[in-house]
């Protein structure tokens, strides 16, 4: 038992004495959950980590987060393999590539380690996937806003984290399908571009896109750094009035671009709540609780549950604009 586990065990033992429970119950080390995210060190996943740590404290789980230094599915797999070898109690995952992660997650399950995913509705090998949005609606509402700013006509492009990032591509699919059905005068100028998890990549991509498509009127970014990089490039080229930028952003990061009108509007769910929800669901699994439609997820409330599909979902889309950005920042976002 390491020092941290010893302290956790002693704390639990004191609590057991206070409430008249057998003291030996606290002698067991706290369960450990480690969540592997898409990339470490960016504001979005820093917010996720806050929720993970709060959930760990609230539910008595030793909860932490790790992630690769770069957007690299192979690095995610290595981190997952290390956690299986370490025999953690639960693995959390925000996957970069569902196919690449599938074999290692199946090994985790074979080792008796539950897997809780977020942004992984199609991830095989999971125990449950937790979402705070309706994925189709999330793509559609962003297309509605982009279309409004483009007067429902002209060329646009879409950015995703990687071409295999599951939810980014699902959102993009929904947005593009909605455009084709409702805005026939709009046109996707090129295949979707990867790199929306990295500001510098999105910035460089946008400079190239502006040069290749001089009639461009819109950029839709799925990945919290995509609209930031795109917005920086659009502002640098003094094209904010001509090219509308819409997408998934973190309020504190996007505020300058929102306030000067470069990013017309942003959309997200609360990443801190997402991290917290993953730990909450892990705790239900560890305690052997039944998870069914209408289950109360601590911190989120009642959730829609697809038991057969292993999906847990609440609808918490938030809009980030000039009227809402300061209030959302005051909430820690």
Can you give the CATH number for the domain in which 105 is found? 3.40.50.2300
In a domain, 116, yes or no: yes
Q: 54 and 123 share a domain?
A: yes
What is the Cα–Cα distance from 39 to 68, expressed in whole angstroms? Answer: 5
Q: 307 and 250 share a domain?
A: no
Place of tokens 């947005």: 175
Q: 262 and 280 share a domain?
A: no
What's the pTM?
A: 0.77
Q: Give the Cβ contact number of residue 81 at 10 Å.
A: 13
- Number of structural domains, the chain? 2
247 phi/psi in degrees, rounded to 5: 165, -170
What is the Cα–Cα distance from 305 to 307, expressed in whole angstroms? Answer: 6
Q: 108 and 82 share a domain?
A: yes
In a domain, 112, yes or no: yes
In a domain, 24, yes or no: no
Q: 154 and 258 share a domain?
A: yes
Range of the domain at 301: 3-8+30-133+271-314
Q: Are strands 304-306 and 311-313 parallel, antiparallel or unpaired?
A: antiparallel
Q: Are the CB atoms for 166 and 119 separated by under 8 Å? A: yes
Q: 147 and 230 share a domain?
A: yes
In a domain, 329, yes or no: no
Q: 42 and 82 share a domain?
A: yes
Q: 108 and 96 share a domain?
A: yes
Q: 69 and 194 share a domain?
A: no
Q: Residue-wise pLDDT tens for the chain (333 aa)?
A: 443 443 334 344 333 333 233 333 333 578 999 999 999 999 889 999 999 999 999 999 999 999 999 989 999 999 999 999 999 999 999 999 999 999 999 999 999 999 999 999 999 999 999 999 988 999 999 999 999 999 999 999 999 999 988 889 999 999 999 999 999 999 999 999 999 999 999 999 999 999 999 999 999 999 999 999 999 999 999 999 999 999 999 999 999 999 999 999 999 999 999 999 999 999 999 999 999 999 998 878 899 999 999 999 988 899 999 999 999 998 888
Q: 39 and 109 share a domain?
A: yes
């Amino acid at each position: 038992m390491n020092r941290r586990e010893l302290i956790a065990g002693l704390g639990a033992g004191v609590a057991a004495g206070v409430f008249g429970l057998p003291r030996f119950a606290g002698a067991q080390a706290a369960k450990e959950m480690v969540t592997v995210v898409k990339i470490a060190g960016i504001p979005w996943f820093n917010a996720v980590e806050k929720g993970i740590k709060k959930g760990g404290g609230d539910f008595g789980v030793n909860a932490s987060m790790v992630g690769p230094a770069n957007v690299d599915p192979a690095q995610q797999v290595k981190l997952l393999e290390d956690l299986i070898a370490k025999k953690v109690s639960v693995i959390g995952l925000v996957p970069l590539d569902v196919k690449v992660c599938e074999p290692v997650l199946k090994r985790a399950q074979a080792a008796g380690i539950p897997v809780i995913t977020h942004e992984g509705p199609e991830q095989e090998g999971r125990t449950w996937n937790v979402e705070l949005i309706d994925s189709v609606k999330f793509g559609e509402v962003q297309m509605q806003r982009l279309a409004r700013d483009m007067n429902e006509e002209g060329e646009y492009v879409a950015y995703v984290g990687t071409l295999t990032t599951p939810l980014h591509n699902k959102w993009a699919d929904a947005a593009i399908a909605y455009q084709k059905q409702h805005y026939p005068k709009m046109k996707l100028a090129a295949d979707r571009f990867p790199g929306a998890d990295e500001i510098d990549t999105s910035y460089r991509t946008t400079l190239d896109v502006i040069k290749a498509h001089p009639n461009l009127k819109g950029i839709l970014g799925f990945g919290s750094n995509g609209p930031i990089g795109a917005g920086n490039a659009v502002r640098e080229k003094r094209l904010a009035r001509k090219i509308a930028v819409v997408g998934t952003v973190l309020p504190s990061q996007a505020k300058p671009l929102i306030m000067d009108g470069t990013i017309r509007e942003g959309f997200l769910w609360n990443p801190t709540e997402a991290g917290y929800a993953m730990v909450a669901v892990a705790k239900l699994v560890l305690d052997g609780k039944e998870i069914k439609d209408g289950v109360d997820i601590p911190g989120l409330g009642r959730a829609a549950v697809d038991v057969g599909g292993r999906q847990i979902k609440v609808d918490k889309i938030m809009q980030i604009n000039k009227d809402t950005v300061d209030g959302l920042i005051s909430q820690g976002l």
